[in-house]
Amino acid sequence: MSNRGLSRRSIFSKLVTLLSLCSILNVVGVLVTPAIGGTAPSGARAVGTNRMPQQSESRPAQAEGPPQQAWKDKSLSPDKRADLVIEQMTLDEKIQLVHGSGGFGPPPGGNQPQQPTRSNGGAGWIPGIPRLGIPDINMADSAVGVTRGAARSRYSTGLPSAVAETATWDLNLAYLFGTVIGRELRDQGYNMSIGGGVNITREPRNGRNFEYQGEDPILAGKMIGQLMKGVQDQQIMGDIKHYALNDQETGRNIGNVVLDKRSMRETDLLAFEIGLRDSQAAGVMCSYNKVNGDWACENDYLLSQVLKKTFGFKGWVMSDWGGTHSTTKAAMAGLDQEMPGSGFFGDGLKKAVESGDVPMARLDEMVHRILRSMFAVGVIDNPPVQKVVDVFKGMEDAQHIAEESIVLLKNSNNQLPLNPAAVRSIAVIGSHADVGVLSGGGSAQVDPPGGNAVPPPPGTPPGRNVFGRVVYYPSSPLKAIRAKAPAARVEFDAGTDAALAANLAKNSEIAIVFVNQPTSEGRDSRTLSLPDNQDALVSAVAAANPRTIVVLETGGPVSMPWVNNVAAVLESWYPGISGAPAIANVLFGSVNPSAKLPVTFARSDQDLPHPEIAGINLQAQPPPAGAAAGPGGGRGRLPAFDIPYTEALKVGYKWFDSEKKEPLFPFGFGLSYTTFAYSGLTARGDVVSFTVKNTGKRAGAEVAEVYAGLPASANEPPRRLVGWSKVQLAAGESRTVTVKVEPLFLSIFDVDKDRWELLPGEYQFFVGGSSRSTPLTASVQFPAGEER
Ligand code: BGC
């Protein structure tokens, strides 16, 4: 009896022990009810690995969640999963997701309790909902690599500029570019990129052109699409910006772009349309400027009608930083998230929802777009896990992209490549080529390892960021050239005194002059001319040495009054962290250049649609008393003004073709150390075939370009790029190339019908090595009745 009693007590106590063990295990997420969809529940993992725990949390978030988290079922669609989360969300939780909570945050370990402790240090941070297993969104600027590494001693690869990446005309390299960014964001614990600029180069003096993909919407759209795919395939959310028409920095917070709808759809918006279609990017960042009277971030036409309805964009629209101007108007026009703070979409939006000004259904849609993108890209199921960035791989990838992006613009008498065995002396001149290569400034600035190779003068205050500061990556062209020609005397002159530089050039067999054009977010270049008397420097060196080679490090096109007096010109853009070896490899022929210009180089400002940038001479008004610094704040504001894009459809080469102006170097142009011949064009409908032959003595790659002239009834500029193919050919080799042209690329946008139309009539195809060199032509007749 007593034994049986004992044993009953012991069974009971064992049961209690087992039950409490179960509950402990359940709390720590080890033993759980069978997972929906057969997978282990990932709530604790999804939250825990992606952020630092809140101070108040004493146990993993999963324990706080309700017993059923049906959204964990990975077999459900991202949309269904998002809806299942939304069903469980409170109003406050919804509001929390639709605005940022400030960016940056202090470096870990700091004693600043008021600051957000979980921010990963990027430009944007949206706290997640631990109770529901929704991780924080940590965004980093990453147009050309992950930014703001210095504050936390992180390395990020400084890639060549985005316009350089576009100069490769290589979709695989655009994808690689995105892969490097996605990989390094992931390794640093971010789950979203806010890079991906695709503003068209309407204004070649725009300070941000280095972040963008050139002047042609089809080239730009295809390249940004692959770049974003590269990012998102690392399970990092991508974002394409700045939507839309933020094509100049002058007055970006106040300027009103005036442009007709057809031109918008066929130029700037087309680049977004293609890029989003090809990548399914999670985010679109609306821009600072106004478009036809409405701020871009509360512009119903741009956001709701075109982006969401017509393009079918499923992700979310976030404002550029400080680019939100209202609560109800912006929310109802299609803005889904205010960044980086909560001035309009915090308490203001909560009140608007409570009062019914903004229906709950609209707030749910905003949240849905965010959550469904997180599920679709994988940041909830497979959150980033921090590790040390693969520095070596990054530098290797950066060098490869740089080598494929350097455009050979001139090469008289086959001055290049240099023969390392024959060259006896080289003068290397200018642009701090002894220590580094230039990079682009502003929010895209990637902090160089070891700091700026050309540190600012002592006493310069350590700014919060690098707007307006000129940063060089520690990649020394001088050293790279010396390594290539070890037997030669290679000397450096800073180029600050043209006479001294000319003297060194005179006493050297070859002179290589490096010239630069620093550009940055926040300001445009006033002219296409190189700054700091560099034109005079080149002229002086060229007068002293007929074998003068110019290497440009520029954000975009520049004028070259000396071009007829120099032997060779290379455009290296901002060539990134491995820029120096890339430049040296091209100079000495270890790499045969194959890049082509994604932007037209004009002879002078006078040849541009707007010889002067709109608003460039306006004076800033003093800031209102007590205004905070920031966009439109304490720095003072320009008065409101219009930016009339009167060139309309005629962007870049389309302007030069229509106006019959001779560019300095045309769109699509670039030389090689070998030569190519084109023959045998046939066009059947939208399929174009032709043969490219390498007629020189060495292997090389040719970007073969296909342009189309539309029927006269279309009223279009003479030709537009509609396809291309980059062909690698051994010496003497020929290849037949077939390009299938998308009907969209041959269409025009009919505003009255609000759709693209492929007009019937005669289409011309032009094929060749640049927009101005198309030896092959063919025409096809398109019957009536085809439309998209
Ligand atoms: C820029 C954006 C950037 C944001 C966050 C803004 O000033 O226009 O491109 O993503 O700052 O740094």
Amino acid code (one letter) for 600: T
pLDDT at 628: 53
Q: Which residues contact 108 (CB under 8 A, 6 or more apart)?
A: 52, 152
Closest alpha carbon to 208 in 398, 560, 445, 405? 445
Q: Which two tokens stand for residue 502?
A: 């000319």
pLDDT category, 468, cuts 50, 70, 90? confident
617: helix, strand or coil? coil
CA dist 220 → 167, 240, 341, 426 (Å):
10, 12, 31, 38
Is the minimum distance from the CB of 194 to ligand 1 under 6 angstroms? yes
* pLDDT-wise least confident of 20-29, 111-120, 320-329, 404-413: 20-29
> Which one-letter amino acid corresponds to residue 447?
D
**Confidence band for 163, pLDDT divided at 50, 70 and 90:** very high
Give the pLDDT of residue 763.
Answer: 98
Give the largest CA-CA distance in the chain.
116
Residue 283 has which token pair?
A: 């985010």
- The verdict on the CB of residue 123 being under 6 Å from ligand 1 is yes
* Structure confidence at residue 184 (pLDDT): 98
Is position 607 annotated as part of the catalytic site? no
Tens-digit pLDDT profile for residues 605-630: 999 999 999 999 998 877 766 665 44
> What is the structure's pLDDT at 108?
54
Closest to 533 (Cα-Cα) out of 557, 517, 510 = 517
List C-alpha distances in Å: 36 to 40, 64, 74, 370, 571: 8, 18, 9, 23, 56
Amino acid 120: pLDDT = 93
Look at ligand 1, atom 2, and give the residue with the nearest C-alpha.
Answer: 320
Instruction: Encode pLDDT of 521-570 as tens digits.
Output: 999 999 999 999 999 999 999 999 999 999 999 999 999 999 999 999 99
Closest CA to 130 of 54, 47, 27, 74: 47
Q: Is the CB of 239 under 6 A from ligand 1?
A: no
C-alpha distances (whole Å) from 516 to each of 160, 521, 616, 702 are 15, 17, 22, 27
DSSP state of 603: S
Report the C-alpha gap between 204 and 207 in whole angstroms.
9
- The SS3 call for residue 652 is coil
* Locus of tokens 């991202």: 78
What's the pLDDT tens digit per position in 716-760?
999 999 999 999 999 999 999 999 999 999 999 999 999 999 999
Q: From the CB of 241, is ligand 1 less than 6 Å away? A: yes
Ligand 1 center–CA 148 separation, angstroms: 13
How confident is residue 788, by pLDDT bands cut at 50, 70 and 90? very low
Angle between helix 477-484 and 579-587 (nearest 10)? 40
Torsion of CA 185, 363, 268, 313, to 10 degrees: 80
Residue range 641-669, pLDDT digits in tens? 999 999 999 999 999 999 999 999 999 99
Residue 15, number of CB atoms within 10 A of its CB: 10
Sequence letter at residue 268: D
Measured from the Cβ of residue 528, the count of other Cβ atoms closer than 10 Å reads: 23
* Ligand 1 neighbour 321 (Cβ under 6 A): yes
| 721 vs 719: CA distance, rounded Å | 7
Q: What is the pLDDT of residue 69?
A: 86
**Residue that the structure tokens 């902090």 belong to:** 447
* 618-623: long-range contacts, CB 8 A cutoff, minimum separation 24: 618/251
| Whether the predicted pLDDT of 284 surpasses 70 | yes
Taking only the tens place, the pLDDT of each residue in 66-75 is 546 899 999 9
Residues in the chain: 788
**H-assigned helices in 298-359:** 300, 328-333, 347-355
What distance in Å separates the CA atoms of residue 215 and residue 598, rounded to the nearest whole number? 6
> CB–CB of 29/41 below 8 Å?
yes
DSSP assignment of 510-550 equals EEEEEEEE--BTTB--SSSS-STTHHHHHHHHHHH-SSEEE
Residue of 104, 194, 210, 446 to mutate, ligand 1, most atoms within 8 A of C-beta: 194
Cα(775)–Cα(463) distance, integer angstroms: 53
Using only C-alpha atoms, the chain has a radius of gyration, in whole angstroms, of: 28
Q: How far is Cα 426 from Cα 768, in angstroms, rounded to an integer?
A: 36
Among residues 567, 644, 623, 632, which one has the least CA distance to residue 252? 632
Q: Is the CB of 443 under 6 A from ligand 1?
A: yes
Taking residues 187-215, what's their average pLDDT? 97
Nearest Cα residue to atom 8 of ligand 1: 320
Nearest to 598 by CA among 214, 275, 295: 214
Q: What is the pLDDT of residue 636?
A: 62
pLDDT per residue as tens digits for the range 686-701? 999 999 999 999 999 9
Taking CA atoms, 125 is separated from 21, 97, 106, 785, in Å, by 37, 10, 13, 50
Ligand 1, closest atom to CA 147? 12
* CA–CA distance, 723 with 741 (Å, rounded to integer): 6
Strand-pair category, 776-782 with 720-729:
unpaired
pLDDT at residue 29, rounded to an integer: 28
d(CA 430, CA 322): 39
Q: Whose CA is nearest to atom 5 of ligand 1?
A: 123
Distance CA 122, CA 387 (A): 17
Q: What is the mean pLDDT of the chain?
A: 89
pLDDT of amino acid 670: 99
- Residue 61's φ and ψ, nearest 5 degrees, are -65, -25
Q: How many Å lie between the centroid of ligand 1 and the Cα of residue 682? A: 46
Nearest residue CA, atom 7 of ligand 1? 321
Q: Which one from 141, 187, 278, 320 is the annotated catalytic residue?
A: 320
Residue 211 near ligand 1, beta carbon < 6 Å: no
Higher pLDDT among residues 105 and 730, named by residue: 730
* pTM for the structure as a whole: 0.90
Cβ–Cβ under 8 Å, residues 195 and 208: no
Q: At which residue do the structure tokens 């964001």 appear?
A: 185
Percent of the chain's residues with pLDDT above 70: 87
